[in-house]
Structure 1
Amino acid sequence: DDSLREEECRANIFHTIPTRSMLADGLAQYLIWKQWRRWVLIYGSHERDQLFAEALRRAATRFGGEIVGEKEFKDTGTARRTDVVLVADESEVFGTYVPFRTWTPRPVAGTAGLTPSAWHPASEQWGGTQIQNRFAKANGRRMVSKDMAAWTAVRILGEAATRTQGADPRKMADFIRSDDFSIAAFKGQKLTFRKWNQQLRQPIFLGDGRSVVSTSPQEGFLHQVSELDTLGVDEPETKCVLK
């Protein structure tokens, strides 16, 4: 939820799972890179569906996509004149039924089809095979995003305790906020926290149910500090005032 990093942000909370805006931005970068700029957005009636739909609208404005039509819940003929059908259905009511069911064949992305996530069960790059196999052996299944977020949180605490040579919460938090902090998390580059809202910078995986298609940020989306800051709310946009 972006509001937990913005209007409702707290100085004693660090966020390891990406926001809806980070997921939407990661997906939008790939669609723009593919030159699929015209989108139709289908979204559900639940609050979290609306929030992801809003994140997709923001991403369209930010990266030059155009949402040419919006419909709640059901597909319409608008999809025939677009490049991509975007689905915002975090409640999992209808999204499963959209791929392969549009009148004119179109890629489906969002919460169905090509989906953005913090982690993908098929990720094998950057040492991913090692952690996938260890997790599967211990739990009898593959890792998903919430598992990786939990592992990352524990990894961060372990790194902070080691580097500060103790378990003092204040010293650990100060170290995590400092420029000396970074961790490796099987995502191809070091991860750090954004100072303005304490959100963990991280790449976004784009994939279907069986394979990773790409990772964002995409090539060509530049940033003066970190290309990872092209995903989600950047410092000039933030409403967070840490308390």
Structure 2
Amino acid sequence: MIDRIARSWLCIAGLLLAGAVQAGTLTLGVVERANDPRLAPEHLASGYLGHPGGPIRDGVEVALKESKFSLDAAGLGWKLAVETPSNVAEAREAAKRLQKAGAQALVADLPADELLALAQATQLPVFNVGEAADALRQQHCGPNMFHVLPSERMRADAMAQFLASRRWMRILLLHGPSGDDKARLAVVQSSAQRHGLKLAAVRPFELSTDPRKRQAGNALLLTSGVDYDVVWVVDSDGEFARSLPYRASLPRPVVGDAGLVALAWAPYFERYGAPQLAHRFERAAHRPMLDNDWAAWMAAKTVVQAALSRPQSALSVDALNAEALDGFKGVRVSYRAWDRQLRQPLLLTDGQGVIAMAPAEGVMHPANVLDTLGADAAEGLCKTPH
């Protein structure tokens, strides 16, 4: 009996590209940011749309508890091993410790450079649930990295499809001064062009206590002197964006990082069994389920399904890419073979309800309409996962 269990778990080790496995225990490594400024009380109190509301371990734990019956039936227990690196070197060491501790996969919410270091230091599959940068799916993709959180390109495509479907074609594009804002600005401009939207103007903003820069943060001045159908704001920090709705010089909607935002999840989504998932999470974590929480939950569900569905045979990367999963968003979701991004519908929300879903109605694709969000196979720059 012990030999059979050991052989079964060796198969699961191959299935998940893992190292040594403790028989009878599914071990997930959870890697979170040390002293995460996004989780500071004053930041959480502002309720920035698209920003995390708590640690990702909450989503992982909910997923594993939901799977308890299936895991018990398979004779498997589970445990979490949590690491909180604060720099690239610590991320590498965290990966090595988790692999040595018998983790079969890592669920990570780290900045891009630390995430890359984590993935490069191990052969374990690493599920990215906190970083949307497209470069991680393209130039810097890795053979063991899976992306559950939507990319910036996916979010921009979702919003651009929605605007095109409403015939809101002229955009006033406002962007912040940070490096993240500039990179995301280029993505938005590309998506707008791809969907036939016109840029009425592109204007930078800056929040500063310097009186000489006060006009650079004045919403009324920034939105004056040009005609447009919608204001699209790119603000990774969120502080300027949250003050923009209803302050533009024209009575126009705001989208992007405030007003209407494209996200993986919203706690008030009312279709496809989503309320039940949201309620289970809120009961367990005592807070609403947000974007990163859903991504962490989905990552853990991916690992559990892989461990349960093919216990007697090793699962290749291609097979894992082909796994169909239930994300409570109306369709089965799966990982793209060319960049290991989870293809999924996105929710367009104003923070109080879900206004629409993307892909927009009427959008077509020769294979899978979900692949209209983000880099498609023919344009992907990632070569490693194939």
**TM category, shorter:** over 0.9
Query: 1:100-179 counterparts in 2 under 5 A?
Result: 100-165=246-311, 171=315, 173-178=317-322
**Which residue is equivalent to 2:375?**
233
Higher RCO, 1 vs 2 (CA within 8 Å, ≥6 residues apart): 1
Larger radius of gyration: 2
Do the aligned residues in 2 keep the contact of 1:6 with 1:239 (CA within 8 Å)? yes
| 1:217 is the counterpart of 2:359 | yes
- Give 1:135 deviation, angstroms: 0.5
Q: Deviations over 1:70-123 (max 9, x none)?
A: 111144245751000000001123111111001111100000100110101211
Residue 202 in structure 1 maps to residue 334 in structure 2: no
Moved more, 108-117 or 91-100: 91-100
SS state at 1:59 partner:
helix
CA 1:221–1:156: 2 relative to 1, 3 Å:
same
Cα distance in structure 2, aligned partners of 1:160 and 1:173: 11
**Which 4+ runs in 1 deviate beyond 3 A?**
77-80
Identity of aligned residues (%): 35
Matched AA of 1:200: L
**Is the CA contact 1:79–1:102 (under 8 Å) kept in the aligned structure 2?**
no
1:185 to 313, 324, 327: 327
Matched with 1:90 is 236
Aligned match of 2:187: 55
CA distance in 2, matches of 1:77, 1:17: 31
User: Is 1:17 matched up with 2:149?
Assistant: yes
Counterparts of residues 21-60 of structure 1 (less than 5 Å): 21-60=153-192
Kept in 2, the 8 Å contact 1:15–1:200? The answer is: yes
What is the alpha-carbon distance in structure 1 between the residues aligned to residue 152 and residue 241 of structure 2? 17
AA at the equivalent of 1:125: R
Q: Secondary structure at the match of 1:116?
A: strand
Report the Cα distance in structure 2 between the residues aligned to 1:153 and 1:62, rounded to whole angstroms.
Answer: 30
Structure 1 residue 193: deviation in Å? Answer: 1.1
How far 1:161 moved relative to its partner?
0.7
Q: Matched residues in 1 for 2:246 and 2:236: separation?
A: 19
SS in 2 for 1:81: coil
Please list the CA deviations of residues 30-77 of structure 1 after superposition, one character each: whole Å capped at 9, or x if unmatched: 010000000010000111112221221111111100112011114424
Corresponding letter in the other structure for 2:236? E
SS in 2 for 1:9: coil
Question: What TM-score do you get using the length of structure 2 for normalisation?
Answer: 0.60
- In structure 1, stretches of 5+ residues that fail to align are none
Question: How far apart are 1:141 and its partner, in Å?
Answer: 1.0
- Check the 8 A contact 1:114/1:207 in 2, yes or no: yes
Give, in whole Å, the separation in 1 of the partners of 2:199 and 2:268: 30
